Amino acid sequence: MDIDQLQQTLADLEAETTAKIAGITAIDELRHVESQTTGKSGTLGQMLGTIKDYPADQRGQVGKILNQAKGKLTGIFKQAGDRIRQAETSAEASKASTFDPTLPGVRPPLGTAHPVTLVQWQVEDVFQRLGFMIETGPEMETEYYNFEALNIPALHPARDMQDTFWMTNNMLLRTHTSPVQVRAMERHGPPLRVIAPGRCFRYETIDASHENTFHQVEGLMIDKNISIANLIAMMRLLLREVFGRDVKARLRPGYFPFVEPGFELDMSCLICDGKGCPTCKHTGWIEILPCGMVHPNVLRYGKIDPHEYTGFAFGLGLTRLAMMKYGIGDIRVLTGGDLRAIVPTPRLTGPTIKPESAGAAC
Ligand code: FA5
């Protein structure tokens, strides 16, 4: 191309480039266009490579024209870069001016300990203050501790009341925390004050108040002259401490081969305020705290002389206690991994517990 054509081509390139970069708002995009224009293999870069093709007497002039064009284009790109960077800075500044550091942050939803754990801690606290120690026992138990040592020999019909899961090694998943009674007697001897919270398992039909896996707290107090009066006083105290007031409860005869006499302690259902609902099987009462005086045979299994010592025992239904305390009407909410159980919401909260609904405790 002759010199006139070259000058025209360069003027066109300058106009095209100016138009092309006018709408660019990102530095990366600008750099890309710049390399396509003034870069080594860009349009102008390639034109610089043609200087040697011109006659010797024109090369100086062509070189000068091309270098002038390169200078102009470089200036155009620099101006555009400055414009883009300035726009970015003022966008950030205006963002910063809308940020109010005094506003409280966004609070992520926080869980809590599981309701059963919370009530367990509370029960442990009450009994520790009364001088009870906390024991644990194995969840996989022997038939001996789960039944035999609790005065429930093989073929005793009471075994049918607590069907369970049997292991291939002839052990079973304990049906209650009562096996810890004899284990504790063997380990510590009398006098004895012990509670044993833990998981229990039953081969059970599941409904609003029954699960195949649930928690109990066993309680055992053995000393000289322990009577039913001590048992009732302790049960009253426990319920008052957990609920922060007297709750309506009733004591009725109950049969367990390991206590004599035996009682069922029911509390008025707090889900329906005693009116009747699926949780309490429409009776208005919920079985929560069976108890009784330790049977002499059980004391003997624990190597304690029943002529010298007496004692009481109870088996608190901890999962049901948590349901009553937190107004959770269905046990499956607590055991099914439902996150609403650990982030209390109004839907899970039962009827407000009115002080006037408090009646005579047991
Ligand atoms: C017993 O398990 C006796 N070991 C309790 C006991 C201990 C009596 C010491 C006397 C002396 P029972 O099967 O009733 O008893 O269970 C005790 C409590 O555990 C019940 O009142 C109930 O609150 C709870 N419970 C029993 N089965 C289930 C279940 N499937 N799901 C949830 N809670 C249950």
pLDDT tens-place string over residues 160-216: 888 899 999 999 999 999 999 999 999 999 999 999 999 999 998 999 899 999 999
Is the beta carbon of 330 within 6 A of some atom in ligand 1?
A: no
The third-level CATH classification (topology) of the domain covering 115-354 is BirA Bifunctional Protein; domain 2 (3.30.930)
φ, ψ dihedrals at 222, nearest 5°: -130, 130
As a whole number of angstroms, the distance between CA 241 and CA 239 comes to 5
The residue nearest atom 25 of ligand 1, judged by CA position, is: 317
CB-count burial class (<10 Å; 0-12, 13-18, 19+) for 240 = middle
> Would you call the peptide bond into 296 cis, given omega within 30 degrees of 0 as the criterion?
no
As a whole number of angstroms, the distance between CA 213 and CA 200 comes to 6
Query: Which ligand 1 atom lies nearest to the CA of residue 178?
Result: 4
As a whole number of angstroms, the distance between CA 298 and CA 304 comes to 9
How far does the centroid of ligand 1 lie from the alpha carbon of residue 337, in Å? 22
Average pLDDT, the chain: 89
Report the 10 Å Cβ neighbour count for 8: 11
Q: Yes or no: say if 318 and 115 are a contact pair by the CB < 8 Å rule.
A: no
φ, ψ dihedrals at 145, nearest 5°: -75, -35
Q: Say whether pLDDT at 355 is over 50.
A: no
Select from 123, 150, 173, 176 the residue to mutate for testing ligand 1; criterion: most ligand atoms less than 8 Å from CB.
176
Q: Say whether pLDDT at 351 is over 50.
A: no
Query: Which ligand 1 atom lies nearest to the CA of residue 177?
Result: 4
Q: What is the pLDDT of residue 358?
A: 29
Is the beta carbon of 174 within 6 A of some atom in ligand 1?
A: no
Q: Which amino acid is at 301?
A: Y
The residue nearest atom 26 of ligand 1, judged by CA position, is: 317
Is the beta carbon of 287 within 6 A of some atom in ligand 1?
A: yes
φ, ψ dihedrals at 260, nearest 5°: -160, 110
Query: Which ligand 1 atom lies nearest to the CA of residue 181?
Result: 9
pLDDT tier, 1 (very low <50, low <70, confident <90, very high otherwise): confident
Residue 214's closest CA among 265, 243, 182, 176?
176
Is the beta carbon of 176 within 6 A of some atom in ligand 1?
A: yes
Is the beta carbon of 199 within 6 A of some atom in ligand 1?
A: no
3-class DSSP assignment, residue 158: helix
Is the beta carbon of 150 within 6 A of some atom in ligand 1?
A: no
Q: What contacts 235, CB < 8 A, 6 or more positions away? A: 249, 265, 289, 291, 314, 362
Q: Say whether pLDDT at 343 is over 80.
A: no
Cα→Cα distances 44→20, 22, 50, 67, 128, Å:
16, 19, 10, 9, 89
3-class DSSP assignment, residue 223: strand
pLDDT tens-place string over residues 220-231: 999 999 999 999
The average pLDDT across 234-238 equals: 93
Is the beta carbon of 178 within 6 A of some atom in ligand 1?
A: yes
Q: Say whether pLDDT at 112 is over 90.
A: no
pLDDT tens-place string over residues 5-52: 888 999 999 999 999 998 899 999 999 999 999 888 889 888 888 888
Is the beta carbon of 34 within 6 A of some atom in ligand 1?
A: no
As a whole number of angstroms, the distance between CA 58 and CA 62 comes to 6
The average pLDDT across 139-159 equals: 93
